[in-house]
Structure 1
Amino acid sequence: MELKKLLEGVEIRKITGETLKEITGITYHSKRMEKGFLFAALRGSEADGHQFVKEAIQRGAEAILLERGEELSPPTRIFVPNSRQALAQVASNFYGNPSSKITMVGVTGTNGKTTTTYLLESIFRKASHEVGVIGTINYRFRQKEMAALNTTPESLDLQRILSEMVSDGVSRVIMEVSSHGLDLDRVFGCQFDSVVFTNFTLDHLDYHKTLEHYFESKKKLFSDALMRSPKAGRFAVTNRDDPRGEDIVEGVSLPILRYGMSSTCDITAEQVTYAFEGLSCRIKTPKGSFSIQSKLIGGFNLYNILAAAATAIGMGLPLEVIKEGIEGLAGVSGRFEKVENRKGIHVIVDYAHTHDAMERVLLELKNILRHSSRKEGKLITVFGCGGDRDRTKRPLMGEVAGRYSDLTILTSDNPRTEDPLAIMEEAEKGFQSIPLEEWHAGELEEWRSKKGYLKVPDRREAIRTAIRLAQPLDTVLIAGKGHEDYQIVGKERLPFDDRMEARRALGER
């Protein structure tokens, strides 16, 4: 594509050099530079792309997109105030503005994004649409599936994936839009039809530093991305029951659908029942009511269902299709996922890696147990905290796990470059407010008599210990990693899957 056309819509401060030249590709990684490409110099958390401009030129860059540097040519240099926004627009132009050719739904929030996208995928499929999904677990469309390096891909990668989806006949795309992705302008220039807010709670303060910056990043999906989109029929969906549910849509001068358990919500639920087999309820909407029997478990999943139903209602889908889509979703990988067994023990693997998410899962488990034949059983929780991530949530997660569990087994998660024992020590501080008995290897026969905790740094051994200690009617929650099939130790990704380890441990009983 001609460089001049590639730069349409880009805010430019200055250009040095010729723009009537052909650009054959784009990259933001100097090692992937090929002759005839445009190189985008992006500022990152660990490296600054401006430091690699010289290398990109040596490798054959035809043009450089940058914020600062020497005003020389050749190659052509395009100086911009924000190279991330500029790359997003250039990438969209290069791939033919794919988001303008499909229906785009963005989902943001601290928890529930993945399940909401899965529900919408199921609903859209029941409506006979070809669907693409971009999110935490993977990027998928038709029979293709790609590993997700980030919940929301870098703008260049995102536009390429959207272009491939369009070429493959996809008509609807549902995307998890993370706060990082929004703050780093990865979805800048995407033309959304609808955006959805699930909930907001403490997370990612290692990156955002303050809760307000975290919230304002998420709000950009509504105030910026949705409002800038030129598409007709746009609308927003928000969780009215969340304390920030109205703040997120402040200033949005478009139709807003509100969901929640209040009678004032547009989409709500009544006659709700919860069990380990799933949930049932009657969903009320402006278009009428319908009953569902879902295999998803718990009140937090009811909110995800309402979010998906509200989005589908906004898109004019028939109630019967929405019902079939909700009921057709058997489950989501690593989200309150049951590990089936014949030992009489409920084993649940969940991605809960914030104190709020863990509290929701544990409260839901206790509520279900209270109304089931398992109310005499004990609740064992296995959890750890990620390294090189928000440290403020570690003691909060410890407090929540200790408060609602009969036995908490504190272990390692993805320690990354931190000392696993130091991470555990920070999480352990949360037990002090309860307080809990610390059990040691020789005292484990007594754990059923008093609430307490156990430290087992090796995650594999922690899972084995939990399942070995559990008796019929007990429930074991393995929290934090969910769908992940790896453990990050140092800079290495080692094979590790909580579900596989649980099955192995169950087989050893």
Structure 2
Amino acid sequence: MRLEQLLHEIPLQASHGDLGVTVSALTCDSRQVTSGTLFFALHGSKVDGHRFISQAVAAGAAAVVLEDTSYAPAQTPWVQVANGRQAMALMAAGFFGNPTRDLPLIGITGTNGKTTTSYLLEGILSAAGLPAAVLGTISYRFGSTCIEASHTTPESTELQGIFRQLADAGARAFVMEVSSHSLEQRRVDGSVFDVGVFTNLTRDHLDYHGTMQAYGSAKQRLFSELLRPDDRTPLRHAVINNDDPAAEEFIRAAACPVIRYGRAPGSEVTVREMTSSVDGISALLVTPQGGQRFHSRLLGGFNLSNILAAAAAGIALKLPLTAIVQGIEQHTTVPGRLERVENSSGITCLVDYAHTGDALENVLSTLQELATARIITVFGCGGDRDNGKRPIMGRVAASYSDLAIVTSDNPRTEDPHDILRQIREGILPLGLREYSLNELDVSPDVKGFVMLENRREAIKLAVRLARPGDILLLAGKGHEDYQIIGQTKHHFDDREEAANAFRERI
């Protein structure tokens, strides 16, 4: 494709050289440049891509997109833009033939619930005859095509290429988890959204955004800018969690019609006559298209919210109510989201990705309602991330559990003991008993907590102490099959570790 063909919707500030040059690939990483590549020089938070223009040119870059002309190459074509990230996203969409322009695209943003909602929507769309590709935290996939997820939402050049690959594989709709980082960094600009879903807003990623206001504002871009109707897509919808305290802010920000879901008054998509048990949720789904009963194998109030989010998105797309209910009922589990580890010890062992205070409280409050015996929770907090949530998670885990085992998550470059100490600060005001490992030769009956930095040993301890009828929750890592210690990624899967521990228990 010629460079000039990619510039139709890009406001240029200046240009130099032959804009008819052929472009064969796009990247903002100078290490990936080969002959014919269009290189985007971006101002990063740590590194300025303009410093690598000469390296990109030496590697054969066909042209350069830049913001600062003081770095402009003399012999290679270049164009100057005001916002390099936005230009890259729009040009990437054009380069890959605008794959989301003619297929429905549902974007899901929020602190928690995105992955489960995406799986539910996949089932609903499939039941409606629209086999959907899903891009999210776990993977980017459709049918037999599965690409390991590098980020919840990849860089725009990668994202648009994935859209094209999945569309060519036969996808007739897209469901995408949209992270706050991707909205802030304009990775999803150029994607044509038909529906945007807001799940909730609780503390997370403040190491990047700084404040809750900035975090919320980043997420609101999906509704205020990217869902704004235009001549090509005149009908778009915002689907908003009416039960969340931030609902009104997101409703005000929406530049398109809003469908509210939840249990709160005024919700267009809600439930009545609900019952909840260890077998799942049964209720009457109420929508503008009518009502229909359903039974889901998913557990708890937070999963009811995810079910309503997916149903409301289906209503926004005008899908048949029968397909919506069929999709909900066929969905049984999401990797790492209250995923069971089967065992013969009579213990309910669940692995969940909950890694924020709110997510952990949602899971544990649900398990407390369903528990007939004790709850044992193994959890930790990631290193090099928001340390303000560590005491919050400690307080939540210890409050809801009969025994909380505080351990490592992904410590990264932080000292694991420093992380554990900060978690402990949230537990101490509860006045609970702190056990030493020597005191846990037998399972305790007094509510308390213990510190054990080695996660493998912590899981083994939890399995050894659990009794038949107990619920054992392994929280924080969910579907992840690795642990990052220092700068090294080691294979580690909570599900595998728990299964091994149960085999050793027998």
Could you state the TM-score of these two structures normalised by the residue count of structure 2?
Answer: 0.97
SS at match of 1:380: strand
Q: Which AA in structure 1 matches 2:480? A: E
Q: Matched residues in 2 for 1:383 and 1:71: separation?
A: 50
Shift of 1:22: 1.4
How far is 1:45 from its partner? 3.4
2:276 to 252, 274, 283: 274
Candidates 474, 493, 498, aligned match of 1:497: 493
Matches within 5 A, 1:83-162: 83-162=84-163
Does the CA-based 8 Å contact 1:16-1:71 persist in structure 2? Answer: no
Give the 5 Å matches for 1:454-493: 454-493=450-489
Structure 2: distance between partners of 1:409 and 1:425:
13
Return the offset for 1:476. 0.8
CA-based RMSD of the aligned residues comes to 1.3
Q: Verify the 8 A CA contact 1:67 1:83 in the aligned structure 2.
A: yes
CA contact (8 A) 1:299 1:364 kept: yes
- Does residue 1:401 correspond to 2:402, yes or no? no
1:224-303 pair list within 5 angstroms: 224-227=225-228, 230-303=232-305
Counterpart position of 1:363:
365
- Contact 1:439 1:447 survives alignment (8 Å): no
- For structure 2, the 5+ residue unaligned runs are none
CA distance in structure 2 between the partners assigned to 1:407 and 1:160 by the alignment = 47
Per the TM alignment, residue 2 of structure 1 is displaced from its structure 2 partner at its CA by 1.1
Deviations 1:344-365 (A, max 9, x none): 1111110000000001111000
Residue pair 1:101, 1:166 contacting (<8 A) in 2 also: no
Where does 1:167-246 land on structure 2 (aligned, <5 Å)? 167-227=168-228, 230-246=232-248
Deviation at 1:508, TM superposition (A): 1.1
Report matched runs for 1:301-450 at 5 Å.
301-369=303-371, 374=372, 377-445=373-441, 448-450=444-446
What SS does the corresponding residue of 2:284 show, helix, strand or coil? strand
**How many Å separate the matches in 1 of 2:253 and 2:246?**
14
Tell me the SS of whatever aligns to 1:31.
helix
Stretch moving more, 338-347 or 444-453: 444-453
8 Å CA contact 2:272–2:285 kept in 1: the answer is yes
SS of the equivalent of 2:225 reads helix
Structure 1 gap ranges (5+): none
Q: 1:2-13, aligned counterparts within 5 Å? A: 2-13=2-13
**Which region of structure 1 is more displaced relative to structure 2, 298-307 or 432-441?**
432-441
Q: Relative to structure 2, which stretch is displaced further, 226-235 or 415-424?
A: 226-235
Q: After superposition, what is the alpha-carbon deviation per residue over 1:251-291, rounded to whole angstroms, capped at 9, x for unaligned? A: 43422110011242101011212222211111111111111
Identity %: 46
Per the alignment, in what secondary structure is the counterpart of residue 79 of structure 1?
strand
Matched to 1:31, the amino acid is R
d(CA) in 1 for partners of 2:384 and 2:254? 35
- Counterpart residue number, 2:41: 41
1:99 corresponds to which letter in structure 2? T
Shift of 1:474: 1.0
In the alignment, the residues of structure 2 paired with residue 232 and residue 121 of structure 1 have an alpha-carbon distance, to the nearest angstrom, of: 24
**Residue aligning to 1:63:** 63
Task: Work out the CA distance in 1 between the residues paired with 2:253 and 2:402.
Answer: 46
What per-residue deviation string (whole Å, max 9, x for no partner) do you get for residues 10-47 of structure 1?
12221122212211221111111111211011233343
Say which is worse superposed, 245-254 or 388-397, in terms of deviation: 245-254
Whether the 8 Å contact between 1:235 and 1:254 is mirrored in structure 2 is yes
Instruction: State which drifts further: 329-338 or 24-33.
Output: 24-33
Q: Secondary structure at the match of 2:55?
A: helix
- Cα distance in 1 for residues equivalent to 2:399 and 2:246: 26
Query: Quick one: distance in 1 between partners of 2:227 and 2:243?
Result: 22
C-alpha separation in 1, matches of 2:270 and 2:310? 12
The answer on whether the counterparts of 2:354 and 2:475 sit within 8 Å (CA) in structure 1 is yes
Distance of 2:337 and 2:190 partners within structure 1: 31
Report how far residue 72 of structure 1 moved: 4.0
C-alpha distance in 1 between matches for 2:5 and 2:318: 37
Work out the number of aligned pairs and report it.
503
